[in-house]
Structure 1
C-alpha cells in the first residue's frame, strides 16, 4: 500500500460524500408538516423579550384558544395557532400575568391546576424568552400509564440518545485507535457544533440545511487545524501520551470558558419551538427526533462503509494496528491521522447540533462536560480503539440511561447506573465487548 491510497482526490471524494449525505438527510427537516410554523415567531433581542407557550394535550396541540396577557404595557389578547403556539413581544420589563380563557377551550379539554401564570420579564443585553406553560388534558386522559408503555417510550428515547452519542464517540474511538490518545477535549467539539448552530441558524438566520452544512465544515476544519498546529508537532517531538492527555484537559477547559464568554451561562436555542410530535401507540416521538436518528444512522453507516470498503479505510485500520509497519509499507501516517481528526471533529460537531435540537432543547457552554463521561463510557464499554465497539457501547449506554428512570433510578442517578454497568462489565471483560485482549508484561 502506498501514499496514493490517501491522495487528495480520494480525500475530497470522501468529504464530498459525507457533506452530500448530511445535505440529503437534513433536507428532510424542510418537509415537516405544513402547520409546524403556523404562528409567527417572536425573536428576542437586546430591547425585546418574548413570552411564549404551546397549548398541547396528550392527544395533540390545541388551536384557537384565547390567552390574556396583562402587564406594564397593558392588556393583550392572543390566540393559539394551528400548531398550538402563541407568543408576545414585550419591550417593558416587569410582572406579567398570563391567563387562559377557559370558555375558549374545546369541549372535553380542561386545564390541570391554575389557568393563570405569573412571570417576571426582564429586558437585557442577552436575548430572553419566557415560557408560560399550562398543563391541558382531555377527559379521556389517564394519569397512570402502564409500566410497559413507559418502558417502550424510554427504549425509543434511549435508542435516540445512543445514536447521537455514537455519532460523537466514533470519532473519539478512531482518534484513540490511530494515536493512542484519550482526547478529553473531544466533547467540547460537540459543544462547538451546538454553539455554531446557534450562531449560523439563530443569529445569522441561515436555513437549517445550510447552517447544518456550515457547522459540519467548520468543525471539520477545527479538527484539521488542531492536528496541524498542535498534535502533529507534539507527536514529532516525542511527547508522551500522558503529557498529551493533560494538554487535552487544558484545551477542554479553555474551550469551555471561550464558549461561556460568547453564549453566557444560560441555555441558548438553535431553533425556537420543538416541532410536531407523532404518536405510535404508546410511543411519542417528534419529527425532528426521527430525522436526527436517520441522519445519525446514515453517517454511522457511511463511516463504517469507508472503514471496511475503501483504501483510506484500510489505511486507517493499518495505522491503528501498527503505525510503524504502516509507515514502512508506504502509508503517510500523518495524513491518515489528520484525516481522522478532521472526520472525527466533523461528526462531533454534527452530533452537537442534533443534540441541541432534540435532546437538550438548546446548548450550554458546559454541555460537552455533561456528556463527556457518557462518551468515554461508550468507547470503553465497546472496546477502546474499535469503531464498531463504540457504536455498540453507545447504544447500550443510551438505553441504560433512559431505562433506568422507569426501572426506579431517581433523577440524574440514571447516569451513575450507566457508569456502574461499565465498571461491572470491565471486571469481567477488561478489553470491552468488542476489544481485543492484550498481553500485559
Structure 2
C-alpha cells in the first residue's frame, strides 16, 4: 500500500549518538557554492583493502556496506527514480531478501507543480521490477524545502552557515522514522562517470574512433587540459564561471576545475584519487550533523571510499566505456537496461526558491556578502531570474544571517 506524508518542519528527535561536527566553508568556497580542493589521506589505487574494509569487487563491497546498514535498523532509501537511487534501492532489496532482513522502504519526494522534478514513470518501472510497489512512501513537498522557509530559518539560527544549503530544510529527513538508516545515491554521477581515459577505452574496445567529436575528445585528454565527457564539460555552467563571481572567487573555481581535469590518466588511479576531494567528505559530515537532532543516520554507499577504491581495482588501467557501461557492469542483474542507460535527470531547484526568497532578494542591499568575491548586483539579478542556481544557496543564507535579528527563525 502506498502511503503519503505531508509534513513541515518536525521537532528535534533523540540524537543518534555521537554528534557529527560541521565543517565550515571558507569565504571563497561560500561564494563559489561548494568545497574546493583536496582533503583526507592519499588513495592507494590497486592496493589491498584497508583493514576492516569489505573484501571483494565493487559490487561485493557495495552489498556488504548495504548489509551493514540493513542489520543496524530499518532502512529508508531516498528514491528519486534516477539510476543512482534506483541502483542503491535494488542492491538493498537484493541483500535484504538474500539475508532475510527487513526490506528497505523506498521514499520519494513529490513536487506538485514542478514538472522538471516528476520522476513518477521511472519510479513505477523500477518498483514494479523490484517487487516493491507496496513499500513506497511518498512525501508531498510544498514549501518545506524553501531556502528561507520556516524550517531553514530555524536551522540557520541553530547551526549557522552550513553547506549544502539545502540540508537546512530536507523534507525527506523530516519524514524518516527516528533511528532509521537513510541510504542515498549521492556521488553516483561522479564516481560512476567517465574519466580522462574513457574516450580511449571506447576506441580501444571498438577498434576505431567514432567521428570528429570522438577525435576531439581523444585529443583533449592527452594533456589533461579538459575532461571531454562527464560532469565537467562545456555544457556545465561551472566551466564559464557564473556571472556573479569576481576575480579571486572566479580564479579559485577555475583552478579547482583545472585540477580535476588533471586527474591521472589511468582509470584506476583517477577513480581512487576521487576519495581525496573534499566535496564528498564535507557533504557526508554536514548532512549528518544537521540530521543528528532528528535521530537519522545517513549512508552514501556510492561515494564511500571503500566502494570507490574497489571500483578502481575492478576498472584497472582502462576502466569502462562510460557511465552506462559502468552501470551495466555493476547492476545488470538487478535493473532493466532502460534504467541503466537513461540519460535524463530531474531538477529539484524549483522547490528551494519561492516568494520568500525573491522578496528577500528584491529588498537586499548587498550587505553580508563579500563584494570582493561577489558582484552583488549580478547576484541579485540572478536570484530574481527564472531558475536560480542551487550553488547560490550559501550566499543567500550568508546574506540572510547578516540581516537576521537575534532569535529570528527560532519560532
| Shorter-chain TM-score range | under 0.3
Larger radius of gyration, structure 1 or 2? 1
The structure whose residues are more often helix, as a share, is: 1
Higher relative contact order (CA 8 A, sep 6+): 2
The structure whose residues are more often strand, as a share, is: 1
